[in-house]
């Protein structure tokens, strides 16, 4: 049985790649907001539901306008994927499983999805459409198969990530009626009802001294502000 799994890695773009991604993120955001405005006006003003085909036709007309000629500077695939994501968002909204889709801001996480036709995967390297060089990806683990789609993103801290969607073989686990209780603790991370104990790794222990020092400094600053003499 095949299942779709996502594997995320961090990568470090060249200045040329960063500039292209910035344009791509901007175009994806522009298309999302423009089509969302088009669909919102149709829904609230004329009670019309705009489907994917109508949204795609609107995007085609948008590309032909002189003021939006910049949309041709990036791959068209992320723009079409943007419409598919929005169509899915509206599907969940009308099914009352999610809120109404919101407009995107450049202050938040930026992303663009590339289907298999918009990137190449050769010799363990991924090259996006319109890029001359493959991405410098820090592979923390190997991909189990060639990705069918990749999503490139940039967070608010300026870090770049790539999520690879792969189809992998899975095996169904045998059905069992055995149950176990889990008790979370402090000394032990957890203890199961059959007596199995897992030690607490205490990942934050090495930062405890630094945290205590920072808290003391903060406390002194707060006291200094409250005891400042008032003039007048």
Q: CA 91, CA 102: separation in Å to the nearest integer?
A: 14
Q: Could you report the per-residue pLDDT of 160-205, keeping only the tens digit for each?
A: 999 999 998 888 888 888 888 999 887 888 889 888 888 887 777 7
Q: Determine the pLDDT at residue 129.
A: 95
* Residues sharing a CB contact under 8 Å with residue 184, sequence separation 6 or more, in sequence order: 190
Write down the pLDDT at residue 154: 96
User: Given a cut of 80, is residue 75 above it in pLDDT?
Assistant: yes
Whole-number mean pLDDT of the chain?
90
For residue range 24-40, what is the model confidence (pLDDT) as tens digits?
999 999 999 999 999 99
Which pLDDT band holds residue 226 (cuts at 50, 70, 90)? low
What pLDDT, on the 0 to 100 scale, is given for residue 53? 95
CA atoms within 13 A on the CB side of 14: 10
* Three-state DSSP state, 85: helix
pLDDT of residue 104: 94
Q: Where are the domains positioned within the chain?
A: 2-169, 175-226
Question: Between these two residues, 127 and 46, which has the higher pLDDT value?
Answer: 127
Which residue shows structure tokens 């493959």? 134
Position 98 pLDDT exceeds 90: yes
């Amino acid at each position: 049985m095949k299942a779709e799994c996502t594997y995320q890695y961090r990568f470090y773009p060249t200045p040329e790649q960063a500039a292209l991604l910035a344009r791509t993120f901007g175009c994806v955001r522009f298309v999302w907001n423009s089509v969302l405005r088009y669909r919102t006006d149709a829904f609230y003003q004329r009670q019309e539901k705009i489907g994917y085909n109508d949204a795609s036709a609107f995007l085609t007309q948008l590309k032909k306008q002189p003021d939006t000629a910049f949309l041709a500077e990036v791959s068209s695939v992320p723009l079409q994927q943007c419409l598919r994501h929005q169509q899915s968002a509206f599907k969940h909204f009308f099914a009352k499983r999610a809120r109404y889709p919101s407009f995107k801001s450049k202050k938040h996480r930026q992303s663009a999805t590339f289907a298999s036709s918009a990137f190449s995967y050769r010799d363990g390297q991924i090259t996006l459409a319109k890029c001359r060089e493959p991405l410098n990806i820090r592979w923390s683990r190997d991909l189990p198969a060639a990705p069918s789609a990749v999503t490139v993103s940039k967070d608010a801290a300026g870090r770049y990530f790539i999520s690879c969607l792969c189809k992998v073989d899975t095996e169904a686990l045998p059905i069992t009626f055995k149950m176990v209780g889990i008790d979370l603790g402090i000394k032990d991370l957890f203890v199961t009802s059959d007596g199995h104990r897992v030690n607490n790794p205490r990942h934050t222990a090495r930062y405890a001294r630094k945290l205590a020092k920072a808290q003391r400094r903060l406390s002194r600053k707060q006291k200094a502000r409250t005891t400042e003499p008032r003039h007048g």
